[in-house]
Amino acid sequence: MNGVTMQDVAERAGVHVGTASRALDPDRQYMVSAKTRERVRQAADDLGYQVNALARGLRKGFTGILGVVVPDIGNPFLAPLLRGLEQVLGARGFMTLVAETHEDPRNLRQICEHLIARRVDGVIVSAAHQSDGPFLSTVAKTMPVVLAVRKVDEPGHYTVTHDDMLGAMLATEHLIDLGHGTVAQLRGPDDVSSFSMRTEGFGKVVKQRRCRDVSSDETAVEPTIQEGRRLAERLLKRGHNRPTAIFAQNDLMAIGALEALAEAGLRCPEDMSIVGYNDAPLTRHLAPPLTSVRLPSSELGQRAGALMLAQLAGTAKEPTIELFPPELVVRASTSRATL
């Protein structure tokens, strides 16, 4: 059924390959008489012809594939982002090649090399570490790059993200407004802009409101449930200096903190308030429903996709960092401090 080439189609239709090629290309059909066109289409149908995208890509210089690099598909927060992306890109006939880094910058490099080898038309990176800027700049010499969610230290990259510092400030203010005087944050990998900005936002508010910050300096290796749990356990093991509220830098770590609490026989929010980040799809269904900072991930994906299309079309403006606003969603995992 496969192995049918355009040559085969052309022969069956009694025309030259060049003609067959034109007849089957929507953009060049007009160069072919209606009669021939029909004959070729018929022959192609009969034979079950499928163009060889490799040959076409080799000749035309583009593939219709875009690379997407994410930290970890298991993070439910990524689903809306990917959906937003594919919505915009799929409509233009692009497919996406998704790969995971698991927060290892070496993987980012290796993946990008793979993607370059496959001659994808561009790459959307939502797994960047802050120091990946120079590397991504070299990639950007080869093909369009869009950074989603996470930015890098270096300027000059097309970036679509949201205001992490503000988000963290909203979360922290919420806790302090509830009367919590001793708070801590669970930090994600520090070389990731999202987390370092959140760390900063938290610190800013805590200082400003003269609240006691008993956070550990330790950061999670990956922002996962396991790591959140590990960090929270350490916090709880301390006899003194225990917070009454925790800001987890993402929802998965918040869930890990919930596990640690339960294990320690503590209740949320009665004994400990917890706020997460991302407002991933299922957070509202958790026990307890998680207070979280919402980030418009679907819109963000759409915008990143649009920016990629603009670069491909050559209509993109100068690289900028676009910021979407965060929003605090208050649910049952946070409550007034009991004095």
Partner DNA sequence: TTGAAAGCGGTACCAC
Partner DNA sequence: GTGGTACCGCTTTCAA
Which residues bind to DNA, rule: CB under 7 A?
A: 3-7, 15-19, 21-22, 24-25, 28, 30-33, 35-37, 49, 51-52, 55-56, 58-60
Query: Which CB sits closer to a copy of itself, 98 or 329?
Result: 98
Among 19, 21, 63, 278, binds a copy of itself (CB under 8 A): 63
Q: Which helix (H) or strand (E) holds 261?
A: helix 251-263
Closest approach of Cβ 41 to DNA, in Å? Answer: 12
Structure letter (DSSP) for residue 73? T
Judged by CB under 8 A, the stretch of 39-47, 69-77, 200-208, 242-250 that binds a copy of itself is 69-77
Rounded to whole angstroms, the maximal C-alpha distance in the chain is: 89
Contact, 311 vs 147, CB < 8 A?
A: no
Contact, 252 vs 221, CB < 8 A?
A: no
Task: Give the Å distances, CA to CA, from 60 to 14, 80, 92, 121, 198.
Answer: 26, 33, 17, 12, 44
Contact, 275 vs 291, CB < 8 A?
A: yes
Closest approach of Cβ 6 to DNA, in Å? Answer: 3
Closest approach of Cβ 61 to a copy of itself, in Å? Answer: 9
Task: Give the Å distances, CA to CA, from 147 to 200, 286, 319.
Answer: 21, 30, 10
The yes or no reply on residue 92 touching a copy of itself (CB under 8 A) is no
Contact, 85 vs 68, CB < 8 A?
A: yes
Cis peptide before 269 (omega within 30 of 0): yes
The yes or no reply on residue 106 touching a copy of itself (CB under 8 A) is no
The yes or no reply on residue 99 touching a copy of itself (CB under 8 A) is yes
The yes or no reply on residue 282 touching a copy of itself (CB under 8 A) is yes
Query: Which CB sits closer to a copy of itself, 164 or 227?
Result: 227
As a whole number of angstroms, the distance between CA 333 and CA 267 comes to 10
Binding mask 240-269 vs a copy of itself (x if CB under 8 A, - otherwise)? Answer: ---------------x--xx----------
Closest approach of Cβ 118 to DNA, in Å? Answer: 12
Query: Which CB sits closer to DNA, 40 or 275?
Result: 40
Question: Which residues face 87 on adjacent strands?
Answer: none
Closest approach of Cβ 124 to DNA, in Å? Answer: 24
Those residues with Cβ within 8 angstroms of residue 138's Cβ, 6 or more apart along the chain or in another chain: none
Query: Which CB sits closer to DNA, 64 or 203?
Result: 64
Query: Which CB sits closer to a copy of itself, 41 or 119?
Result: 119
As a whole number of angstroms, the distance between CA 69 and CA 100 comes to 6
Question: Which residues face 159 on adjacent strands?
Answer: 147, 321
Closest approach of Cβ 250 to a copy of itself, in Å? Answer: 14
Query: Which CB sits closer to DNA, 9 or 290?
Result: 9
Token readout for 268 is 């949320």
As a whole number of angstroms, the distance between CA 331 and CA 329 comes to 6
Judged by CB under 8 A, the stretch of 110-118, 148-156, 160-168, 312-320 that binds a copy of itself is 110-118
Contact, 265 vs 291, CB < 8 A?
A: no
First to last CA, the chain: 75
206 binds, among a copy of itself, DNA, none (CB under 5 to 8 A by kind): none
Closest approach of Cβ 13 to DNA, in Å? Answer: 9
Binding site for a copy of itself (CB under 8 A): 1-2, 48, 50-55, 57-58, 63, 65, 73-74, 76, 79-80, 82-83, 86, 95-100, 113-114, 116-119, 138, 141-143, 255, 258-259, 281-282, 285-289
